[in-house]
Amino acid sequence: MIDQDSPARFRPAAGPLPPSLQFNAQGRLRHLLTIEGLSGALITEILDTAESFAGMNAQAVKKVPLLRGKTVMNLFFEASTRTRTTFELAAKRLSADVLNINISTSATVKGESLLDTLRNLQAMYVDMFVVRHADSGAAHFIARHVAPHVSVLNAGDGRHAHPTQALLDMFTIRRHKGDFTRLKVAIVGDILHSRVARSQIHALNLLNTGEVRVIGPKTLLPAYVEDLGVHVFHDIRAGLRDVDVVIMLRLQKERMESGLLPSEHEFFQLWGLTEERLALAAPDCMVMHPGPANRGVEIDSRVADGPQSVILEQVSHGIAVRMAVMSTIMGGSMNQGSGA
Amino acid sequence: MTEPVSTLLDRMADALRRHLSAQHITAPALVGIHTGGVWVAEQLHQRLDLNEPLGKLDISFYRDDFSRMGMHPQVRPSSLPFAVDDRHILLVDDVLFTGRTIRAAMNELFDYGRPASVMLAVLVERDGRELPIQAQVVGQHLKLRSDEQVKLRGPDPLRLDIVKLEPAS
């Protein structure tokens, strides 16, 4: 495992992203690697499309023929159930053929071997790779090397980005709250290790959210996090005051040995979301969590299962939002150079 | 060249009543195709004095030019507030030209269920069918040159415009 636990190394290994990489010559999205570089208008368009896909649940046949004859490969170098399953369902509801490949991360995947894997898979006439990888920048690397007609969708890379999770969270917030400009949104917990938090912050900013707060201990906040345009709180009570949305992050237990935290119990005492703390937020504050939740570590079961929780809705929305992203980028890659 | 839209709608409503009674259909379910077709369907819905709410289809996910054009930027949710099974469905659109939109609409409709029958009513039809599709009720037949296009503007008031297409660059 690569040691990434020093805050100074939070910035993605991939370096600055060439803005052209995600877009084709006509300016259409052809890969989705990160929220950075998208526009608020494009995000809104994707959310609107997702809204139409969500309506498909009324159909007897819950399938549309958009990606008929296309092959989508879920390329998971890191374990995942929820994300992989919803990507698989999304692709199937678009009538694509789906392959799931789980590649063990026991050995560090070096650039060369990743490229080799990719070339072999590409030889099977795949049209889209959905990639999850423990290293930041892996999806970019793959996007740089795929054939022109192939799209790459980042399903989480290291600590860098998880753009579809951020989009489905925006979808969930928009369904409940509508306008972002008057909202106060708090992201709580282990921001340092969280690709979800980074993508959420970028998306919330692009949608002109009134105020974005991050709440957590200094050891779990990345250096220079203020540069992302957020207000930092080291006291959960102060941070939660009057917020409309609270997003709890999973405490990445696998990092606990590194001495960033004394114990799970103490983390819950200081940073866990309890009913009593939630009462400090706005009365209709919604509670979100990207999952999997550690009950009794970052969130109390009574809150996770309580009336303000939308955690399961987030999972359902993942399907419609991923359908919207897949069809948008597939349209972008099929249009390469056609001048349409 | 085009008659006022209200004249066309009155004519369509008359023709529809005759068609429905000849077919012994008492309760057709109206389905408009976004966007212009929904406007026309709303007008027919009023003129035919129907109570059941109108269905609306956005055919973006069923288009046959997705691989060439990509996703339509403004997709609206489809909504059919009734069960399609065994119903007599009246599809409504503003302009019938190649027939490809209607093909897509029928595919979507059948993903909701198995209708008893499907009829088609259009405000305007023009030559140029690329599929064996024909409307039962037509407001007006227009002769247009290949570089001309007819567009319905609305929703209030509804107005037909004939626009010249820019030569393809």
Cite the active site residues of A: 82-83, 110, 132, 162
Among A11-20, A76-85, A209-218, the least confident range: A11-20
B5-144 sits in which CATH class?
alpha beta
- Cβ atoms of A199 and A34 within 8 Å: the answer is yes
Q: Compute the average pLDDT of residues A276-285.
A: 98
pLDDT digits (tens, 9 = 90+) for A222-280: 999 999 999 999 999 999 999 999 999 998 876 556 677 778 888 999 999 999 999 99
Say if residue A182 carries a ligand binding annotation: no
Q: Compute the average pLDDT of residues A87-108.
A: 84
Residue A106, pLDDT > 50, answer: no
Among A133-142, B7-16, B30-39, the least confident range: A133-142
| Chain mean pLDDT for chain A | 88
Closest Cα to residue A320, out of A164, A188, A189?
A164
Shortest Cα–Cα distance, B31 to chain A (Å) = 15
Closest Cα to residue A300, out of A282, A277, A283?
A277
Q: What is the pLDDT of residue A111?
A: 60
Q: What is the pLDDT of residue A234?
A: 96
Domain boundaries, chain A: 19-161+318-334, 163-315
CA angle A313, A307, A269 (to 5 degrees): 100
Residue B21, pLDDT > 70, answer: yes
Q: Compute the average pLDDT of residues A51-63.
A: 89
Q: What is the pLDDT of residue A257?
A: 61
Q: What is the largest distance, in Å, between two alpha-carbon atoms of chain A?
A: 59
Q: Which residue of B has its CA nearest to A330?
A: B70
The listed CATH number (3.90.1170.40, 3.100.10.10, 3.90.960.10, 3.40.50.1370) that belongs to domain A19-161+318-334: 3.40.50.1370
* Residue B1, Cβ density class (10 Å: 0-12 exposed, 13-18 middle, ≥19 buried): exposed
Say if residue A198 carries a ligand binding annotation: no
Residue A4, pLDDT > 50, answer: no
- How confident is residue A333, by pLDDT bands cut at 50, 70 and 90? confident
Beta strands in chain B (DSSP E): 29-33, 55-57, 88-96, 117-126, 137-142, 148-153, 159-164
- How confident is residue B68, by pLDDT bands cut at 50, 70 and 90? confident
Number of CB pairs, chain A paired with chain B, less than 8 A apart? 65
Say if residue A84 carries a ligand binding annotation: no
Q: What is the pLDDT of residue A335?
A: 62
Q: Which residue of B has its CA nearest to A51?
A: B77
Flag if B73 and A45 touch (Cβ within 8 Å).
yes
Q: What is the pLDDT of residue A260?
A: 76
Q: What is the pLDDT of residue A112?
A: 62
- Rounding to the nearest 10 degrees, give the CA dihedral for residues B139, B145, B149, B153: -50
Q: Among B60, B69, B112, whose Cβ lies nearest the Cβ of A340?
A: B69
Q: What is the pLDDT of residue A176?
A: 97
**SS3 (DSSP) at A48:** helix
Which candidate in B34, B66, B69 is best for mutational testing of the A interface (most A CBs within 10 A)? B66
Gap between the Cα atoms of B108 and B121, Å rounded: 17
Q: What is the pLDDT of residue A258?
A: 66
Flag if A61 and B75 touch (Cβ within 8 Å).
no
CB contacts, 8 Å: A59 with chain B:
111-112
Gap between the Cα atoms of A21 and A15, Å rounded: 13
pLDDT digits (tens, 9 = 90+) for A190-200: 999 999 999 99
Gap between the Cα atoms of A8 and A3, Å rounded: 12
State the DSSP code for B62: G
Contacts of A323 (CB under 8 A, 6+ apart): A50, A53, A90, A93, A94
Domain boundaries, chain B: 5-144
Answer with the residue of higher pLDDT: A72 or A115: A72
Q: What is the pLDDT of residue A255?
A: 58
Flag if B75 and A332 touch (Cβ within 8 Å).
no
Closest Cα to residue A185, out of A165, A210, A167?
A210
Among A55-64, A68-77, B117-126, the least confident range: A55-64
Which candidate in B71, B82, B85 is best for mutational testing of the A interface (most A CBs within 10 A)? B71
Q: Which helix or strand (DSSP H or E) is residue A268 part of? A: helix A264-271
Flag if B111 and A332 touch (Cβ within 8 Å).
no
pLDDT digits (tens, 9 = 90+) for A133-179: 988 999 999 999 999 889 999 999 999 999 999 999 999 999 999 99
Q: Among B58, B74, B112, whose Cβ lies nearest the Cβ of A59?
A: B112
For residue B96, the one-letter residue type is L
Say if residue A250 carries a ligand binding annotation: yes
Q: Among B69, B77, B107, whose Cβ lies nearest the Cβ of A52?
A: B77
Length of chain B: 169
First to last CA, chain A: 45
- How confident is residue A118, by pLDDT bands cut at 50, 70 and 90? confident
Q: Compute the average pLDDT of residues A64-70.
A: 93
Shortest Cα–Cα distance, A327 to chain B (Å) = 7
Shortest Cα–Cα distance, B2 to chain A (Å) = 31
CATH 3.40.50.1370 fits A163-315, yes or no: yes
Answer with the residue of higher pLDDT: A182 or A118: A182
Q: Compute the average pLDDT of residues B129-155.
A: 95
Length of chain A: 340
Residues 48-67 of B with CB under 8 A from A: 58, 60-62, 66-67
In sequence order, what are the beta bridge partners of A101?
A75
Angle, nearest 10°, between helix axes B36-47 and B5-22? 60
Shortest Cα–Cα distance, B169 to chain A (Å) = 10
Q: Compute the average pLDDT of residues A291-308.
A: 95
Instruction: Say if the ipTM goes beyond 0.85.
Output: no
Percent of chain A with pLDDT over 90: 70
Q: Compute the average pLDDT of residues B51-56.
A: 95
- Cβ atoms of A26 and A335 within 8 Å: the answer is yes
